[in-house]
Amino acid sequence: MSFVERSHNVILLGPPGVGKTHLAIALGVKAVEAGYSVLLMTLEQLMTRLMRAFNENRLERTLQQLVYPKALIVDEIGYLPLSNTEASLFFRLVARRYERASLIVTSKKSFMDWGEVFNDPVLATAILDRLLHYSTTLNIKGESYRLKEKRKAGLLGRTPLSTEQEVPAQA
């Protein structure tokens, strides 16, 4: 938990189903056990909260509340693209937490793809600059645990799906 004490970040990257969220939650549990305050949100939940605060002129107060936890876990960066306003709000949060409190983030996207996620390569670079300055990045490779179980049960073909292929919808 020294990363929390030093206000450093942890970034977990990898394809869906390899355990990023599981590891992020485990780090959060350990941080709570060590006496730190922790908040877990998906990026979608975080954006909903920030946009509501922005629209209701409560952004400053909401940002203060989101800077308070010693560790903030933001799950699922990159599953949905952000609007320009949402990306700007996320930057403001990262900038406020920078060198003050830890962020634990999970993403299926490589850092090179964050320009697409944040709809602005310059803003994505500014976000990454602050996130990566004091951080540990874990790049997890492998097959989805969920799909591996389906494959064992004979519900999928024998060859593992790459992260580029689409996962078939189940009936």
- What are 75-129's pLDDT values in tens digits? 999 999 999 999 999 999 999 999 999 999 999 999 999 999 999 999 999 999 9
**32 vs 169: which has the higher pLDDT:** 32
pLDDT number for residue 160: 55
Q: What is the pLDDT of residues 126-161, one digit of tens each?
A: 999 999 999 999 999 999 887 877 777 777 766 555
23 within 8 A of 145, measured Cβ to Cβ:
no
18 within 8 A of 142, measured Cβ to Cβ:
yes
pLDDT number for residue 154: 77
Buried b / exposed e along 2-31 (16+ C-beta atoms within 10 A): ebbeebbbbbbbbbbbbebbebbbebbeeb
Instruction: Give the separation between CA 36 and CA 22, rounded to whole angstroms.
Output: 19
pLDDT number for residue 164: 44
Instruction: Give the separation between CA 137 and CA 12, rounded to whole angstroms.
Output: 6
pTM, full prediction = 0.88
Q: For residue 154, give the DSSP letter.
A: T
Q: Which domains does the chain have, with CATH numbers?
A: 2-140 (3.40.50.300), 144-171 (no CATH)
